[in-house]
């Protein structure tokens, strides 16, 4: 199985890479700075020929098309793409949300994954039962919102869910199952030390969830445990 995971150098992404390699996938992991992605480079040594580390910055113009060109040099198809990379603006208060912060969150959490999906669709279309998983968040659920917190992040993840719904139909016509997922509240740099779920548990759940998906699931917003989330 040929798997691509963005933001593979730490947190949930690193665990996804580790577990995908352990089960035998050939993995392409993206990092903003591959030369500094120490854990990924160690894994590449442990799994010779099974891990390629490529550069990709979600908010850099043209990055998705460039990545697709590089992936095509490594292989002619993809079976699973997990758009995991994301960022959170901390400490936002009503009346003091910065224009740059909101724009940056949208660029990284919405525009980046959307452009990535578009650019990788032709490679996914050649895969076996191909799947595109967009890592969103329950904080992007419109239905669950009742207070002012994590504004930029939440707006960008709600928009990512819409990006998923927009993509799901044409992707389905190509045979690609597209969903968005909430990985749980996970103990990473983003999730913080109080988070109950370990990255390894979230990654295990996400890979299991991806394995169990069928084309009929296209367009769903699911939690890591497979439960349905409200948009």
Ligand X SMILES: NC(=O)c1ccc[n+]([C@@H]2O[C@H](COP(=O)([O-])OP(=O)(O)OC[C@H]3O[C@@H](n4cnc5c(N)ncnc54)[C@H](OP(=O)(O)O)[C@@H]3O)[C@@H](O)[C@H]2O)c1
- Of the two residues 189 and 216, which places its CB atom closer to ligand X in the complex? 189
Q: How far is the CB of 173 from ligand X (least distance, A)?
A: 26
CA angle, 108 as apex, 178 and 47 as ends, to 5°?
Answer: 70
Contact yes or no for 58/6 (Cβ under 8 A): yes
Q: How far is the CB of 188 from ligand X (least distance, A)?
A: 3
Instruction: Give backbone dihedrals phi and psi of 5, rounded to 5 degrees, phi first.
Output: -130, 125
- Of the two residues 125 and 190, which places its CB atom closer to ligand X in the complex? 190
- Of the two residues 136 and 177, which places its CB atom closer to ligand X in the complex? 136
d(CA 186, CA 165): 25
Q: How far is the CB of 39 from ligand X (least distance, A)?
A: 10
Q: How far is the CB of 152 from ligand X (least distance, A)?
A: 12
Instruction: Give backbone dihedrals phi and psi of 166, rounded to 5 degrees, phi first.
Output: -65, -40
Residues near ligand X (CB under 6 A):
7, 9-13, 31-32, 57-59, 84-87, 108, 135, 137, 182-183, 185-186, 188-191, 195
d(CA 135, CA 22): 21
- Of the two residues 141 and 177, which places its CB atom closer to ligand X in the complex? 141
* Residue (of 20, 76, 32, 29) closest to 52 by Cα position: 29
């Amino acid at each position: 199985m040929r798997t691509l995971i963005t933001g593979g150098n730490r947190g949930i992404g690193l665990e996804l890479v580790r577990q995908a390699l352990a089960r035998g996938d050939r993995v392409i992991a993206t990092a903003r700075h591959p030369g500094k992605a120490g854990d990924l480079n160690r894994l590449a040594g442990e799994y010779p020929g099974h891990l390629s580390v490529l550069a990709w910055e979600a908010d850099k113009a043209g990055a998705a098309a460039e990545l697709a060109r590089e992936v095509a040099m490594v292989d002619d198809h993809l079976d699973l793409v997990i758009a995991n990379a994301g960022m959170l603006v901390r400490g936002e208060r009503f009346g003091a949300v910065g224009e740059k912060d909101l724009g940056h969150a949208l660029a990284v959490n919405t525009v980046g994954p959307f452009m990535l999906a578009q650019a990788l669709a032709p490679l996914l279309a050649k895969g076996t039962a191909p799947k595109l998983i967009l890592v969103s968040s329950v904080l992007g659920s419109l239905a669950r919102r009742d207070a002012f917190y994590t504004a930029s992040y939440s707006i960008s993840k709600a928009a990512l869910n819409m990006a998923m719904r927009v993509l799901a139909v044409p992707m389905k016509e190509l045979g690609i199952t597209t969903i968005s997922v909430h990985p749980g509240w996970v103990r990473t740099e983003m999730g913080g030390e109080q988070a109950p779920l370990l990255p390894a548990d979230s990654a295990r759940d996400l890979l299991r969830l991806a394995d169990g998906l069928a084309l009929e699931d296209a367009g769903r917003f699911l939690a890591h445990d497979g439960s349905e989330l409200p948009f």
